[in-house]
Chains A and B, each alone.
Chain A
């Protein structure tokens, strides 16, 4: 039987504000428990919410970026439910008039562009955190996160497989981080996702019963959770069973989802307009003001990199998607006349592998764009070889020393002096008669081995291009 998968995503984006959405307490991460929970956050009697105007600005920025409608009048509603980490017994959210609606995001699906419609994006507050297992027999509560501003972005159920879902999520992630409304720290929960998943027989119109997998905070887990759900649902349906509408949790250790809540214990949230908060009124002028400060969007940036710098689409994506990377790249380009290809290759190749090795991000790179430029200039002037350059880059990262100092100390200046090189080449030709013979017999690939030997002999300082032509000259003679 052929099955079609239907996926809709709800993404919770933590908005990058200094203080909480309805109180003046700091919303930064990592403070000692309850150090950042003020009277409003723990819902002491008589306290009232006051909207942090910054969140409106950030939501408008998203609305503009996804080409959505920005409500001229948007309201807050109370979502009522009891839970220990929900201090008021209700969450302030938006129900009937979300701040943004009818947006869209273009994603790549099997190399084709596909438009995913975004139903709505609404403002709400985060809950506190229940801490289990730290004390015997009791659950502890930390309200630092309570009141952290969130923008919940809800897609239409237009995603058809896990790969598309990941593609949508990544594109959204690049967007919110590029326009600066979210710090993108997924480990700290700044960008997390609920996936609604159902399957139906190919050709059938009605949607199947869906399950919701809650709170997935990595792209990898989203893919795994969705694929697990698809095969779980398929097995049930192919065995003649029925899917029960329920909320599930993904367990990354066991690579499976399991039931959190069934439909029977689903809440009636009793939404109603929050009488403590007047409607948010947004004028055209306010929207124009945000539009004027909106940075270049990732897809525009990618197109520009291909156009302006003649980069491949892949290179452009790798540089443009992460705003700290694109900032880095553009700082390099702004300061020098180096070829864009060279800069691009060094960033996505060598610098990325260093970031990887030290598990860090471009924002905390220990090599500045100016230093990288200095290094690349030396390479393009052939003062040092590309190979030596890689070593210099590593040493720069480790020691923070200047390029010149490292090159001097490590004696990495590239030898282009023919007489010195000639001597080294002659020695190698003498030492490897068998390989020389093989080359002469037509196995031209062996040339790389001989060049490598010369480089080894000269501790990497020999200019490999000159060595190569010298060897060719001798061997073809």
Chain B
């Protein structure tokens, strides 16, 4: 039973269908692993043993009756940003420590409909604001490859849990790299779909025009399976695209011959970490050998994307965070003396420093007298960024570069220099500003830590993106590496 944790989801499904093991047995295996290992990583905020076993028993019944779908009985870890009925949804914040939603996020509803088993809710930066998982009210998530290093963020709990084989699949959300960066840091595969591909209903908002939920897994094939379940139009989310979902599996094996891969020169500056440069050169050569054509391209607005992103994401955040006022739900201060006192203390006590910092930045950027210089200007640059991509995708099918400029850093590296941490988002935020699908895959190791390669595609080209990723993974085994760290007891 123990080696099942190294199986792909297809193999797990095979095991379930051939009755090698039941979903209850499989779920128990993962729950035991979580109990044994997670204390050393802190990747879960809430583990739902009872609920998971109940869902697994239900899945077994469906399998018995021959009503199993693609992912029936497969366990997954759910980022604690997706609302779940009956299980608290904290979003990594003290503000929502006691919050139980009376509804499921559409993503969760779709997983339930697919017969999947939710193992628990994973740790994350508070309200998804952070790149290291150090802003969580529930403590930082440790990187399973080196527990002194961060998991990345904000979907760090999901990334660490998948990397340590505490779950075969996980959900994540990506506002500026929150799926891809922790995937790169923890050596797993993660996809930020096209904006509008996955419903945002019930996924607690941070930067509404940038937020996008997506799958995290060991390999691209598994990403395709989970994306097939969670994607689709949702009438509860007005920004959800009518395109709906697709069978992302059927084209996985299609050839990448003659596909054109662009290498943006801005993603390979002279001062790029030489080991990451080497790993990327190797990966690009590999993809060329597999039949793709490599082309040098330029994304001229790259130097502007980080400040643009932090203005826009913070502006939207400042407004999205306003509903946490201690009045209707969430943290409420003791014995408020007045309405202002209620607001001030509830928010002062309920929010952590990073959330407060972004509320302040965003409020400033939207204030009268500053709106034109910050928010309005950032919107204009956002259009430039989008135009960069539109013109470059006339020449190429994909863009490849490193997911991050560094490997996972040590805890507390940037505690006193948030701007330096923001700058490490340089390669990921553009896809959010433009709304494009973007994938991160393990492509090698530096100092024993995984290095991620990012592949970005054109709008709604997830199938093509996944097919390139899958072809790469069929010919490499970076994604199959497992940490040599001793985890847990």
| Shortest CB distance A153–B (Å) | 25
Q: Does A50 contact B (CB under 8 A)?
A: yes
Q: Which residue of A lies closest to B200 (CB)?
A: A48
Q: How many of A's residues come within 8 Å of B, CB to CB? A: 29
Q: Is A43 an interface residue (CB 8 A)?
A: yes
Q: Residue A89 contacts which of B82, B319, B367 (CB distance < 8 angstroms)?
A: B319
CB distance from B232 to the nearest CB of A (A): 15
A46 touching B343, Cβ below 8 Å: no
Instruction: Report Cα–Cα, A90/B324, bound state, in Å.
Output: 12
A254 within 8 A of B: no
Kindly list chain A residues whose C-beta atoms are within 8 Å of the C-beta of B318: 80, 270
Are B91 and A276 neighbours in the complex by a CB distance under 8 Å? no
Over the window 80-100 of chain A, the binary record of Cβ atoms lying under 8 Å from chain B Cβ atoms (1 yes, 0 no) is 101010011110000000000
Across-interface contacts of B324 in A (CB, < 8 A)? 45
Cα of A78 to Cα of B209 in the assembled complex, Å: 14
In the bound assembly, the distance between CA atoms of A81 and B239 in angstroms comes to 24
Cβ contacts under 8 Å, A141 to chain B:
327-328
Query: Which residue of the partner chain B has the closest CB to A89?
Result: B322
Q: Mark A255-289, 1 if CB is under 8 A from B, else 0.
A: 00000000000001011100111100000000000
Q: B238: CB under 8 A from chain A?
A: yes
B238 touches A46 (CB 8 A): no
Among the 9-residue stretches B97-105, B262-270, B451-459, the one with 4 or more Cβ atoms under 8 Å from chain A is B97-105
Smallest CB-CB separation from B235: which chain A residue?
Answer: A50
Q: Are A42 and B89 in contact (CB under 8 A)?
A: no
B329 proximal to A (CB < 8 A):
yes
Q: Which residues of A contact B321 (CB under 8 A)?
A: 89
Q: Does B145 contact A (CB under 8 A)?
A: no
**Chain A residue with Cβ nearest B369:** A268
Give Cα A50–Cα B240 distance, bound, in whole angstroms.
11
B205 in contact (CB, < 8 A): yes
Q: Contact: B239 with A45, CB < 8 Å? A: no
Smallest CB separation, B376 vs chain A (Å)? 9
CA distance A87 to B319 in the complex (A): 12
Cβ–Cβ contact A45 & B238, under 8 A: no
Report the bound CA distance from A271 to B325 in whole Å: 19
Question: Cα distance A222–B96 when bound, in Å?
Answer: 45
By the criterion CB–CB under 8 Å, are B96 and A270 in contact?
no
Q: Chain A contacts of B363 at CB under 8 A?
A: 270
Say how far A434's CB is from chain B's closest CB, in angstroms: 79
> Are A46 and B375 within 8 A (Cβ)?
no
Interchain CB contact (< 8 A) of B102 among A39, A78, A84, A277:
A39
Does chain B have a CB within 8 A of A44? yes
Residues of A within 8 A of B371 (CB): 270, 272
Q: Which residues of A contact B205 (CB under 8 A)?
A: 45-46, 48, 276
Contact partner of B319 (CB less than 8 A), chosen from A46, A50, A139, A270, is A270
Whether the Cβ atoms of A44 and B102 lie closer than 8 Å is yes
Other-chain residue from A45, A50, A270, A277 in contact with B204 (beta carbon distance below 8 A): A45
Interface bits B293-335 vs A (CB < 8 Å: 1, else 0): 0000000000000000000000110110111110111100000
Contact of B329 among A44, A90, A272 (CB under 8 A): A44
Q: Specify the main secondary structure of chain A where it touches its partner.
A: loop
> Are A42 and B239 neighbours in the complex by a CB distance under 8 Å?
no
User: Whole-angstrom distance between the alpha carbons of A457 and B324 in the complex?
Assistant: 80
User: How far, in whole Å, are A309 and B384 apart by their CA atoms in the complex?
Assistant: 65
Answer whether A80 and B323 are a contact pair too, CB < 8 Å, given A45-B204, A48-B201, A278-B238.
Answer: no
Task: Give, as a whole number of angstroms, the nearest-CB distance from A216 to chain B.
Answer: 25
Chain B: interface secondary structure? loop
Chain A positions within 8 Å of B329 at CB level: 42, 44-45
Q: Is B56 an interface residue (CB 8 A)?
A: no
In the complex, the chain B residue whose C-beta lies closest to that of A80 is B319
Do B323 and A87 have beta carbons less than 8 Å apart? yes
CB distance from A271 to the nearest CB of B (A): 8
Check B238 against A276 for contact (C-beta < 8 Å).
yes
Instruction: Please pick, from A50, A87, A271, A277, the residue contacting B328 in the complex, using a CB distance under 8 A.
Output: A87
Does the CB pair A272–B366 fall under 8 Å? yes
Check A45/B323 contact, CB under 8 A, given A51-B238, A270-B366. Answer: yes
Residue on A with the closest CB to B105? A46
**Known contacts being A45-B96, A80-B366, A272-B375, is A277 close to B325, with CB within 8 Å?**
no
B113 at the interface (CB under 8 A from A): no
Output the nearest chain B residue to A43 by Cβ-Cβ distance: B323
Of B235, B239, B323, B328, the contact of A276 (CB 8 Å cutoff): B239
Q: Are A275 and B239 CB-contacts (below 8 A) given A42-B328, A88-B323, A141-B327? A: yes
Given A46-B105, A272-B366: A90 and B322 interface contact (C-beta under 8 Å): yes
Which partner residue on chain B sits nearest A81 by CB separation? B322
0/1 per residue, A17-59, Cβ < 8 Å to B? 0000000000000000000000100111111111100000000
Asked whether A48 lies within 8 Å of B237 as measured between CB atoms, the reply is yes
Look across to chain A and name the residue whose beta carbon is closest to the beta carbon of B102.
A39
From A47, A49, A51, A82, contact of B322 by CB (8 A): A82
What's the minimum C-beta distance from B199 to chain A, rounded to whole angstroms? 9
Interface residues of A in 123-173 (CB under 8 A from B): 139, 141
Contact B208 A275 (CB under 8 A): yes
When C-beta atoms are compared, the residue in chain B nearest to A138 turns out to be: B336
**Nearest Cβ on chain B to A392's Cβ, whole angstroms:** 57
Which of chain A's residues 358-402 have a Cβ closer than 8 Å to chain B? Answer: none
- Mask of B74-100 contacts with A, CB within 8 angstroms, 1/0: 000000001100000101000010010
Residues of A within 8 A of B316 (CB): 275
Contact partner, B238, options A49, A80, A87, A89, Cβ 8 Å: A49
**B379 nearest in chain A by CB position:** A273
Instruction: Determine the chain B residues whose CB is within 8 A of the CB of A88 once the complex forms.
Output: 322-323
Once the chains are docked, how many angstroms separate the CA of A90 from the CA of B91? 21
Q: Which residues of B contact A87 (CB under 8 A)?
A: 323, 327-328
The answer to the question of B373 belonging to the interface, with a C-beta cut-off of 8 Å to chain A, is: no
Nearest A residue (CB) for B82: A46
Nearest CB on A from B335, distance (A): 11
> Would you call B203 an interface residue if the criterion is a C-beta within 8 Å of the partner chain's C-beta atoms?
yes
Which residues of B123-182 are within 8 A (CB) of A?
Answer: none
Contacts of B237 in A (CB 8 A): 48, 50
User: Would you give the shortest CB distance from A186 to chain B, in whole angstroms?
Assistant: 29
Residues on B with beta carbons closer than 8 Å to the beta carbon of A268: 367-368
Residue B1 at the A interface, CB < 8 A? no
Q: Give the Cβ gap from A461 to chain B, nearest Cβ, in Å.
A: 69
Tell me, rounded to whole Å, the shortest Cβ–Cβ distance linking B238 to chain A. 5
Q: How far is the CA of A48 from the CA of B316 in the complex (A)?
A: 14
B236 within 8 A of A: yes
Q: How far is the CA of A340 from the CA of B368 in the complex (A)?
A: 60
User: How would residues 229 to 254 of chain A score, 1 for a CB under 8 Å from any chain B CB and 0 otherwise?
Assistant: 00000000000000000000000000
Contact present for A278 and B239 (CB under 8 Å): yes
In the complex, whether B442 has a CB less than 8 A from a CB of chain A is no
Q: How distant is the Cα of A84 from the Cα of B341 in the complex, in angstroms? A: 12
> How long is the Cα–Cα vector from A47 to B201 in the complex, in angstroms?
6
* Known contacts A45-B101, A46-B201, A46-B205: A270-B367 contact under CB 8 Å: yes
**Distance to closest chain B CB from A213 (angstroms):** 24
Q: Which residues of B contact A278 (CB under 8 A)?
A: 238-239
Asked if A43 contacts B328 (CB within 8 A), the reply is yes
Docked complex Cα distance between A272 and B375 (Å)? 9
**Which residues of chain A are near B89, meaning CB under 8 Å?**
45-46
Contact A82 B325 (CB under 8 A): yes
Q: Which residues of A contact B343 (CB under 8 A)?
A: 82
Q: How far is the CA of A393 from the CA of B101 in the complex (A)?
A: 59
Q: Closest CB of chain B to A87's CB: distance in Å? A: 7
By a beta-carbon cutoff of 8 Å, the part of chain A in contact with chain B is: 39, 42-51, 78, 80, 82, 84, 87-90, 139, 141, 268, 270-272, 275-278
Binding site for A on B (CB under 8 A): 82-83, 89, 91, 96, 99, 101-103, 105, 200-205, 207-209, 235-239, 315-316, 318-319, 321-325, 327-330, 339, 343, 363, 366-368, 371, 375
User: Can you list 15 A-B pairs with a CB-CB distance of less than 8 A?
Assistant: A43-B328, A44-B101, A46-B82, A48-B237, A78-B319, A82-B325, A82-B343, A87-B323, A87-B328, A90-B319, A141-B327, A270-B371, A272-B366, A275-B208, A275-B239
Having A47-B201, A90-B319, one finds 7 other A-B pairs with CB under 8 Å, namely A44-B103, A47-B103, A48-B200, A49-B238, A270-B363, A270-B368, A276-B205
